[in-house]
Amino acid sequence: MAKGQISDQQVQEYEANGFVLVRKMFDAEETGLLRRAAKEDRDLDRHAYGKGDGEGGTTRLAIWNHPGDTLYGMFARCESMVNSTEKLLGGEVYHYHSKMIMKDPKVGGAWTWHQDYGYWYQNGVLFPLLCSVFIAVDPATRENGCMQVIRGSHNLGRIDHVLTGEQAGADMERVREVLKRQELVYVEMDPGDTLFFHCNLLHRSDQNHSDNPRWSMICCYNAARNDPYKESHHPRYTPLHKVSDAAIQETGLRRFADGHTDVSWLEAATDRSARSLEKK
């Protein structure tokens, strides 16, 4: 079963570094269910779209706004995840969105250096009181394009972002200078490992040149007290109903087609429109 709420020491690590890696947050059975569900889910595949990296690579992803009652929703709503993010953000949180990143062998594209708040600032979110939680579905290694982070870069504040290919990336002049002073960390992960990271943490990933996939699910949370002041393609405050960690195994292989709630998919056209606004 899921590991439970993070410790006070892990909170201190998050505050100092901008991230904390929790090994084996989810056990082999839970992660196996997630992997099988994702890779057999026709609805997930149907809503996925490609995003070019400007270097010839493409990564598929699917994004949805509400957690719903599927297996994916149980991960996003389980007490281990939600209680941990509430501890990190100092109060009630709600589900901002989730996504499945499908970095396939040989073709999976890179992600340029960016901060998540570099995107979300444009959505009327006033404070950087957001946290993303990266769950490794497959092993994440240097060879298949694991996430890279710059330790402590969340303390820089929000950096200007511009479009690179189909992605909005941080000002590279500033990033190059940051890399001279701060440590670059390759976050290699086993399935079930979970990375909690600050919305101002600079992060990126390389293309997947290996023979192995690198799929991951990322759940993003916003502090309830940080309710956006305007409507956007991601939701304003919506109460999040927690479930027990046991709900993951109890739900089993309930995929999107089996769910009974509207998760509000973010389609490719909406995503492109959002990126266009971020360019201005």
Q: Is 1 part of a structural domain of the chain?
A: no
| Measured distance CA(76)–CA(62) in Å, rounded | 15
What is the pLDDT at residue 168? 78
Identify the burial level of 211 via C-beta atoms within 10 angstroms of its C-beta, where 0-12 means exposed, 13-18 middle and 19 or more buried: exposed
Fill in the amino acid letter for 58.
Answer: T
Rg (CA), the chain: 17
| CATH number of the domain to which 262 belongs | 2.60.120.620
Query: Residue 146: how many CA atoms within 13 Å on its side-chain side?
Result: 21
Q: Show the domain range for 23.
A: 8-279
Domains in the chain, number: 1
b/e for 53-72, b at 16 or more Cβ within 10 A? Answer: beeebbbbbbbbbbbbbbbb
Q: Is 3 part of a structural domain of the chain?
A: no
Q: Is 65 part of a structural domain of the chain?
A: yes
Return the structure tokens found at 68: 């719903």
What is the pLDDT at residue 58? 85
Confidence of residue 108 (pLDDT cuts 50, 70, 90): confident
pTM attached to this predicted model: 0.95
Asked if 26 and 192 touch (Cβ cutoff 8 Å), the reply is yes
Q: Is 268 part of a structural domain of the chain?
A: yes
Confidence of residue 120 (pLDDT cuts 50, 70, 90): very high
